[in-house]
Amino acid sequence: MAAVSESTSRVLEPHIPSGERLIEAHTADGRTVAVTDRRVIELHHEEDDMSQDTSLESVLLTSDYVVGSEYGRTEDTTNPLVEWIAGGLLAFLGVVIAVVGSETSALVIGVGLILGGVAVVYLSRAQTSGEISATVHRTGDLSDRSRTFPQGEAEVARAISEQVATLNGPA
């Protein structure tokens, strides 16, 4: 069973009858998307000391109206150019101070700036962002249902795609 918080499990449990198996779930910001062996459930749940608000949408994957699924992934990578330039300038300044300075303190400061510059360049990494999406395509007047997840949370999107293929494949 997928890792779901206890409070989310309590809210989700009444909506998954016995015999239906939870395959995967993703919870973030009061929203849970769960994939069972029959459906995709999107649950919005928020509670505090004074109130509780829950809404649920379920898309059946076993109906004749489901004609396929689409899995998408977008990824953007940004290089930390500013950090690399700053680190290079620090190291260069450190070399200049260490070479030009005649006192021991200039050498210590220069070596410190060189190490600091190297550390800035070494520790600055390319940042990757993006999202994963899964769409269930349906026929007729029924609209397609899409779900998006943050980068690195592909399990539920894959499970949606796999379940549509499994449940609607050749007999």
Domains held by the chain: number:
2
> Are 14 and 61 within one domain?
yes
Q: Which two structure tokens, joined as six digits, stand for 33? A: 């998307």
Q: Which two structure tokens, joined as six digits, stand for 158? A: 């894959």
> Are 62 and 93 within one domain?
no
Mean pLDDT is lowest, of 1-10, 29-38, 145-154, for 1-10
For residues 121 and 80, what is the distance between their CA atoms, to the nearest angstrom?
9
Phi/psi at 123 (nearest 5 deg)? -80, -15
Give the domain range for residue 86.
80-123
Three-class HEC string of 147-161: EEEECCCCHHHHHHH
In a domain, 97, yes or no: yes
In a domain, 139, yes or no: no
- The pLDDT of 148-170, averaged and rounded, is 82
- Residues forming beta bridges with residue 72, ordered by sequence position: 133
- The pLDDT of 81-108, averaged and rounded, is 88
> Are 15 and 56 within one domain?
yes
In a domain, 143, yes or no: no
> Are 54 and 90 within one domain?
no
- The pLDDT of 126-134, averaged and rounded, is 78
> Are 62 and 88 within one domain?
no
For residues 114 and 93, what is the distance between their CA atoms, to the nearest angstrom?
8
For residues 129 and 105, what is the distance between their CA atoms, to the nearest angstrom?
43
Phi/psi at 33 (nearest 5 deg)? -115, 120
> Are 69 and 86 within one domain?
no
Query: Contact 63/145 with Cβ under 8 angstroms?
Result: no
In a domain, 15, yes or no: yes
> Are 39 and 61 within one domain?
yes
In a domain, 35, yes or no: yes
- The pLDDT of 22-44, averaged and rounded, is 85
In a domain, 33, yes or no: yes
CB-CB neighbours of 22 under 10 Å: 18
> Are 64 and 17 within one domain?
yes
Q: Would you place residue 1 in the very low, low, confident or very high pLDDT band (cuts 50, 70, 90)?
A: very low
Vertex 108: Cα angle to 106 and 112 (nearest 5): 115
In a domain, 144, yes or no: no
